[in-house]
Copies of this chain bind each other. A is one copy, B any other.
Amino acid sequence: MPEQSKPSITDPKLEPIEQLEAILSTSDNHKLESFVYEIPSGEMARTISLLDEEDQKSLLTRLPADAAAWIVEELSHQQAADIIEELHPDDAADIIDELPSDEQADIIGELDDDDAEAIIEKMEPEEAEDVRLLSKYDSDTAGGLMVTEFLTFLGDTTVGDMADNIRQNAEEYHEYDVQYLYVVNPQEELLGVVRMRDMVMCRPEVKVKDIMMSSPKFVHVNDHLDFLEDFFDAIFFNAVPVLDEQNKMVGVLKRADMEEALGDRSERQLLRLGGIIAGDEMRTMPTFPRAARRLAFLGPNIFLNLIAAGVLIYYQNTISQIVALVVFMPMISDMCGCSGNQAVAVSMRELALGLVRPTDIWRTVIKEAAVGIINGLILGILIGLLAWGVGSFDLGPLQGQPNIAPMLGLVVALAFFFNCIIAVIIGGTVPLVLKGLKMDPAMASGPILTTITDVCGFALIFGLATWLIIP
């Protein structure tokens, strides 16, 4: 073994990636395993993404399945899936067997159907069944978010027998932080819930049906994240049972998992606003698919931009006579776009908070118009004064026409004023309209807004100029 490939594991001067690569270049699997547990949780995703594909593969196959699963849990589902699908299905299945059921389903959901099936076939039968169950449901529903690890008992079980069962299975239950026990009938229909704390106060011979909370709260597998958010808002429990279409209990939805899903959704929205379709590009992916994904969004934008270009072609004669106005095109286009985006952001937030509905368009128009008039007036006057100034020192072909500089200022100010009002009204209402049409407001609001503000802005500035200035 060459000398330079043997740095100390704990050398604080080396980054985790450097140390990991050094250890991977040896054949010391024991050292590899202990080092993996030393990588700080916040460094894991980046460290793994910096390894080349071969090293990622060799890392996960050389480690015992539970250590490999430890790594996989620290990665985003997509990053995990990208690495898992390169492994042999046997190795992949061993690692996935070690994950909690909701993570299993999330990662397998990111794989191609063929890869997924190959791995599920190699998994332990019980785990495989859970994955098949969970992957039937959309990831934004209770069925997709639930865990399938939960404890059920028949109503006639005594508290003492329940405690015995929990003790016997302590190791298996260790990771699931059981907080409630569920009472079912032989058809697995939910009858009640027992809190651990209520068991503490009981003598062992008491039957669970006598201490359970009957008519318990529950959700259905197909209940959507929006409903679940409201549901948890209204209750104090940290977890609720999930029933399938036949009212059979099939899982438990934890409050923390619901909150995590809400957070993920906001983050996807953030990315979608930037126009990445599917919202899951990472720079570790190959270049061409990344470029293609971005193009898919940019392409249609050309056609929207053609409308604005059309307006400019229409006014080409005016433009050639008052070139000074060209100087103010980007200002009107950018600032009004910006004003409109502010309105988009407020609407998106109010939609998320449940403060507006798609039918509240008229109220939004009035509220936005008020702000648009104030800001359009203030900024319009400012920009108009700038235009007056520019007009005073360079008049182009219109030199000598009386009052040309103040007229230039007036045209720019008026164009900005009206376009600003249009922008905030469009920006405020487009997300509501898209939501009403069941489209994604995050992705489409921006391009629609920009196109409309550009078209109106250019039409206003050159239309007003044609009317007020051209002799």
A residues engaging B (CB < 8 A)? Answer: 40-46, 49, 73-74, 76, 79, 159, 162-163, 166-167, 173-179, 195-197, 199-201, 226-227, 230-231, 233-234, 236-238, 254-256, 258-260, 262-263, 266-267, 269-276, 281-284, 287-288, 290-291, 294-295, 297-299, 301-302, 305-306, 308-309, 312-313, 316, 319-320, 323-324, 326-331, 333-335, 338-339, 341-342, 344-346, 348-350, 352-357, 363-364, 367-368, 370-371, 374-375, 378-379, 382-383, 386, 390, 394, 396-397, 447, 450, 454, 458
Contacts and interface: CB of A to CB of B under 8 A. Distances in A.
Given A256-B259, A316-B394, A342-B274, A226 B42 contact: yes
A98 B341 CA distance: 39
A335 B383 contact: no
A255 B291 CA distance: 38
Nearest to A232: B256
Contact of A309 (B231, B331, B370): B331
Most chain B CB neighbours (cut-off 10 Å) among A197, A374, A394: A197
B270 A349 contact: yes
A275 B196 contact: no
B197 A346 contact: no
Given A166-B200, A274-B341, A305-B334, 6 more contacts: A41-B231, A174-B236, A275-B341, A294-B371, A306-B386, A316-B396
Contacts of A166: 197, 200-201
A422 to B, nearest CB: 16
Given A345-B273, A355-B49, A328 B309 contact: yes
A74 B233 CA distance: 7
20 contacts: A41-B233, A45-B354, A49-B355, A162-B200, A177-B236, A256-B256, A259-B262, A262-B263, A270-B273, A270-B348, A283-B350, A288-B374, A294-B339, A294-B342, A295-B378, A309-B328, A316-B323, A316-B396, A320-B323, A329-B330
A228 B89 CA distance: 34
Contact of A295 (B159, B230, B379, B390): B379
A458 B328 CA distance: 13
Interface of A is mostly: helix
A276 B371 CA distance: 13
Nearest to A271: B345
Contacts of A284: 355
Given A200-B166, A295-B379, A259 B263 contact: yes
A44 B41 CA distance: 39
B346 A330 contact: no
A396 to B, nearest CB: 6
A302 B383 contact: yes
A238 B394 contact: no
A356 B284 CA distance: 11
A24 B124 CA distance: 61
B273 A273 contact: yes
Contacts of A299: 379
Given A326-B326, A335-B305, A346-B276, A287 B238 contact: no
B230 A40 contact: yes
A279 to B, nearest CB: 8
A197 B196 CA distance: 6
Contacts of A447: 338
* Among all A-B residue pairs, the 3 with the closest Cβ atoms: A274-B345, A263-B263, A259-B259
Contacts of A196: 179, 195-197, 199-200
